[in-house]
């Protein structure tokens, strides 16, 4: 019996999507694994149409391009979900600035089948060039590795994930939150919601995706904004007032500890920055628990 996988890509003014598609063309798959690629262009105009068309003829998989404007990543993600084949067994999400290794999808499917997981998250590994500061390279701050908390995978990001999408899954009609589509964190909240619906998550470290890091992201200020937003997104794990209060208290204590450690490590820049960024994450959790407004990170030029 064949396994049909739809690979979903959202793009916004990134020519790097060509490299993403070219890496998919190198996938080494079993004969019974069928692939279809869906690309949602989130720009105001269909700016990626010609870019995608220029490479699709050379790909071994059918590619469906659609225009999903509004500069809101949730709109694009939902448009991808609406375009999934009715008989698809799995869907995958990738970002438009990533590329994958040849056995990427094979590893994800193997983990899903072996563990009976509903979603399998793989790492997104940062690729730095020579312009990156040494402290950023050493800290590897731009990579995203799925984690376990108390032995469980609670949530994940959409940069590298396989998700069951058969007719009997209870989350078939779930969609990404439009209110988070410009601030980010819509994927974290989405997978928290799926877990509450009964989804079981696992990790596959071998299913690697790579991501280049542009110069605009090579600063402490950018990393701090990202960590703060990540903290706000994680607050979606608390769904009651009591849970939010407990999470906020814990995050405040952790933020204070990180601030103290940053002072103690002030003479060593790499250590000082590491503690500052950890503290910023916890401050973001507090802000999320208090439902403070999230700043917009999407919709401008990449």
- Whether 202 and 115 have beta carbons less than 8 Å apart is answered as yes
Kindly tell me the sign of the dihedral angle through the C-alpha atoms of 160, 88, 201, 155.
positive
Describe the chain by its helix, strand, coil percentages, rounded to 5: 40, 20, 40
Specify the pLDDT at position 297. 60
Q: How confident is the model at residue 56 (pLDDT cuts 50, 70, 90)?
A: confident
For the segment 257-281, the average pLDDT, to the nearest whole number, is 95
Residue 294 lies in a domain: no
Co-location of 171 and 238 in the same domain: no
Co-location of 61 and 175 in the same domain: yes
Co-location of 198 and 239 in the same domain: no
Specify the pLDDT at position 300. 60
Residue 297 lies in a domain: no
* Residue entry with tokens 């952790």: 254
Q: What token pair was written down for 143? A: 């990579």
Q: Which of 186, 218, 250 is the last residue of a domain?
A: 218
pLDDT over 70 at 154, yes or no: yes
For the segment 11-40, the average pLDDT, to the nearest whole number, is 95
**Structure confidence by residue, pLDDT tens digits, 213-236:** 999 999 999 999 999 999 998 998
Which helix (H) or strand (E) segment holds residue 189: the answer is: helix 186-196
Its domain, for residue 83, covers: 3-218
């Amino acid at each position: 019996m064949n396994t049909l996988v739809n690979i979903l890509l959202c793009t916004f003014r990134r020519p790097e999507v060509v490299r993403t598609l070219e890496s998919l063309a190198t996938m080494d798959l079993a004969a019974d694994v069928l692939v279809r690629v869906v690309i949602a262009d989130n720009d105001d105009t269909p700016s990626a149409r010609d870019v995608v068309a220029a490479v699709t003829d050379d790909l071994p998989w059918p590619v469906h391009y659609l225009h999903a404007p509004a500069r809101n990543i949730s709109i694009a993600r939902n448009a991808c979900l609406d375009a999934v084949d009715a008989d698809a067994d799995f869907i995958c999400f990738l970002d438009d600035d990533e590329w994958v290794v040849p056995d990427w999808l094979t590893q994800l499917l193997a983990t899903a089948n072996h563990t009976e997981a509903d979603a399998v998250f793989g790492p997104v590994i940062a690729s730095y060039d020579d312009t990156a500061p040494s402290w950023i390279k050493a800290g590897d701050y731009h990579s995203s590795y799925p984690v376990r908390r108390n032995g469980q995978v609670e949530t994940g990001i959409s940069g590298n994930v396989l998700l069951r999408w058969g007719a009997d899954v209870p989350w078939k009609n779930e969609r990404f939150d439009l209110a988070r589509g410009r601030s980010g964190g819509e994927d974290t909240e989405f997978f928290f919601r799926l877990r509450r619906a009964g989804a079981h998550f696992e990790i596959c470290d071998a299913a690697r995706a790579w991501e280049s890091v542009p110069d605009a992201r090579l600063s402490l200020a950018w990393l701090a904004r990202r960590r703060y937003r990540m903290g706000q997104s994680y607050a979606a794990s608390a769904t009651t007032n009591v849970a939010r209060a407990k999470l906020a208290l814990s995050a405040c204590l952790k933020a204070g500890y990180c601030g103290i450690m940053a002072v103690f490590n002030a003479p060593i820049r790499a250590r000082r920055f590491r503690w500052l960024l950890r503290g910023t994450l916890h401050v973001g959790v507090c802000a999320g628990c208090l439902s403070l407004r999230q700043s917009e990170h999407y919709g401008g030029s990449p």
